[in-house]
Structure 1
Amino acid sequence: MKIAEAQKVLIADDDAVNREVLGELLKPEYTVLLAKNGVQALERAARHQPDLILLDVMMPDMDGYEVLRRLRADPQLAHISVIFISGLDRPEDEAAGLKMGAADYIVKPFNQTVVMARVALHLQVVRQRRMLERLANIDGLTELANRRRFDEVYGLEWQRARRGKRPLSLALLDIDAFKQYNDRYGHPAGDRALRSVARAAAGAMRRPADLAARYGGEELVLLLPETGALEAGQVVSQLLEAVAALGIAHEASSVAPVLTVSVGGATLEPGSQETQAALFEAADSALYRAKQAGRNRICWHEPGP
């Protein structure tokens, strides 16, 4: 992957010449976004989520310090690295910017070679940080999101669904007779089977916001934002078919001659007051009913009147 495809730099400066010079300097290597004032900088930061902001300190209406304060106060933007670029060259000005949380401070008139070197350095730090964050959120065996990541995303999506009065569907998936599979074929084979099911689950996720995660043991969880019960049921049905189509022999199963899964699901309907914990418990109860009914099937929670 090219750096320009992966990393974005937002240049916020009220001086058109500075914006143009910095933009032309960085365009060959990075995706460049421009803002001519503080308000525009915040709007574009929220919309495009840049990896780095080159931020002028002295701007009309809203100066760079205020922009940085607002960035750090917003959970969705607080992680963005900021380099101040300013004509204020006193040590106390630089110290003030760094104490506020800026990653660096470059004094105008700037040296282009220095700007490029510092931008490259800070973007390398961003890449390394994101790599570590990704590793911390990935289950090592299945390469799906891990439980920690699921809990984090589930909380955010549940709040978003409640605020926007949009549906949110949740499904728990359990591999049928997995203990017997491990006993019959051995744990290395069990790991391979679990990875195959995990790949099928990941392949069933249709949109970037959909999430498949390993919740624990042989249990996976699917999170489908802005998805009603009918559509979620279709997604899960296709997943059951995909798992059966893998044709993984399971002679120790009383359900089928091949590996199968049971799924329980629930949907937060628009306007519902159901809690985050209650929605998960509803899906878990539906999974229990699917197992009691013979496994290799889907049970979906039907909300009461």
Structure 2
Amino acid sequence: MAARRKKVLVIDDIDDDIRIIEKGLKPFDYEVLKAKSGEEGLRIAKVEQPDVILLDIMMPGIDGYKVCEELRADYATRDIPILFVSAKVETSDIIEGFQRGGDDYITKPFSLQELAARVNAAMRIKERQDNLKMMSITDELTGLYNRRYLNERLTEEIERARRYKYPISCLMLDLDHFKNVNDTYGHQVGDLVLEEFARILKDSTRVVDIIARYGGEEFLIVLPMTNLKGAQTLAERIRRNVELHRFAKDLALPVTVSVGCAQLDPTKGDEMDPELLIKLADKALYEAKKRRNTIACA
């Protein structure tokens, strides 16, 4: 599979400046995205997730300083390197650029070689940061998110659901009698089962869903913009996919999953609390495990 082209978003209201930047970056085969206002730049950044942003300061509407602050305040864009490219050359302007969240500051007019060198350096730094971040937020065995990161994201998604008034649901899943697999076949086979189960979860869910290994053989999925009925539908899909899957070494012991479903809906007066959502899902899972390979809802 071919590697994804790196994206550079240029936010500048002057066409000639955009063309000059494109010329300087052309030898590196970056995909150059263009926005002629701060508002347009914010929209594109959130959707396209560029690797680097080149940001002018003096623009109609919201200026570059404000755009930078908004990019840093949004979870989806807060870690993207931002390089100010501006005709404002006073030391105070440059200092303000860094104070507002910029990672570098290039003054106009600029050398194309210097521009390219700074963008390339920002790309390298971001790649290293992305690798380190992925290691810190994922479970080593399954490649799913870890519990610490899950708690962080759940808090953010609960707040977003509260603000925009849409339901959010949660599935808590547990592999039934998983200890028997470890005791019968050994932990190496048990680990293979966990890896395969993680792949089933990834294949069964949407891109926006947040899947984490919660502990041992317990997993949790956060479902933004999903009501309880939608959560139940997904839970049944996962349960069925596990039932049909041929696990490592064609285990003689059946591998099944029990699922607890829960929902919080701000339009129904629910308390929008992440701990409450997990508690409800855990309670539902407890009921499901009494019967094994079933789904229960809080």
TM tier, shorter chain? 0.7 to 0.9
Q: Distance in 2 between matches of 1:39 and 1:286?
A: 44
Shift of 1:289: 1.0
Contact 2:24 2:115 in 1 (8 A): no
Which residue does 2:235 correspond to in 1?
236
Residue 265 to residue 117, structure 1, CA distance change in 2 (3 Å): same
Shift of 1:39: 4.1
Shift of 1:146: 1.1
State the one-letter code of the partner of 2:108. Answer: K
1:265 pairs, out of 261, 265, 278, with 261
Shift of 1:71: 3.7
1:284 pairs, out of 274, 277, 282, with 282
Which residue does 1:131 correspond to in 2?
131
Q: Distance in 1 between matches of 2:75 and 2:115?
A: 28
1:245 aligns with 2:244: yes
Contact 1:56 1:86 in 2 (8 A): yes
Q: TM-score, normalised by structure 2?
A: 0.87
Residue 160 to residue 60, structure 1, CA distance change in 2 (3 Å): closer
Q: Distance in 2 between matches of 1:29 and 1:183?
A: 53
1:215 aligns with 2:211: no
1:45 aligns with 2:41: no
| 1:271 aligned counterpart, secondary structure | helix
Shift of 1:214: 0.5
Contact 2:82 2:104 in 1 (8 A): yes
Q: Distance in 1 between matches of 2:263 and 2:146?
A: 22
Contact 2:46 2:77 in 1 (8 A): yes
Q: TM-score, normalised by structure 1?
A: 0.85
Q: Distance in 2 between matches of 1:270 and 1:90?
A: 49
1:135-174: CA deviation from partner (whole Å, max 9, x where unpaired): 2111111111111221122112222222222222211111
Q: Distance in 1 between matches of 2:142 and 2:73?
A: 35
2:292 pairs, out of 284, 291, 295, with 295
Q: Distance in 2 between matches of 1:36 and 1:261?
A: 51
1:118 aligns with 2:82: no
| 2:258 aligned counterpart, secondary structure | strand
Which residue does 2:24 correspond to in 1?
25
Structure 2 segments unaligned to the other structure (5+ residues): none
Q: How does 1:56-95 map to 2 (within 5 A)?
A: 56-60=56-60, 62-74=62-74, 76-90=76-90, 93-95=93-95
State the one-letter code of the partner of 2:232. Answer: G
| 2:172 aligned counterpart, secondary structure | strand
Q: Runs of 4 or more off by more than 6 Å in structure 1?
A: none
Q: How does 1:98-113 map to 2 (within 5 A)?
A: 98-113=98-113
Shift of 1:36: 2.9
Structure 1 segments unaligned to the other structure (5+ residues): 252-256
Greater radius of gyration (CA) = 1
Contact 1:247 1:258 in 2 (8 A): no
Shift of 1:194: 1.5
Q: Distance in 2 between matches of 1:247 and 1:15?
A: 59
Q: Distance in 1 between matches of 2:231 and 2:75?
A: 29
State the one-letter code of the partner of 1:134. Answer: M
Q: Distance in 1 between matches of 2:246 and 2:61?
A: 65
1:262-290: CA deviation from partner (whole Å, max 9, x where unpaired): 11111223513233222211111111111
Q: Distance in 2 between matches of 1:44 and 1:88?
A: 25
Q: Distance in 2 between matches of 1:222 and 1:110?
A: 48
How many correspondences in the alignment?
A: 293
Residue 8 to residue 232, structure 1, CA distance change in 2 (3 Å): same
Which residue does 2:162 correspond to in 1?
162
Q: Distance in 2 between matches of 1:83 and 1:261?
A: 48
Residue 286 to residue 64, structure 1, CA distance change in 2 (3 Å): closer
Shift of 1:89: 4.2
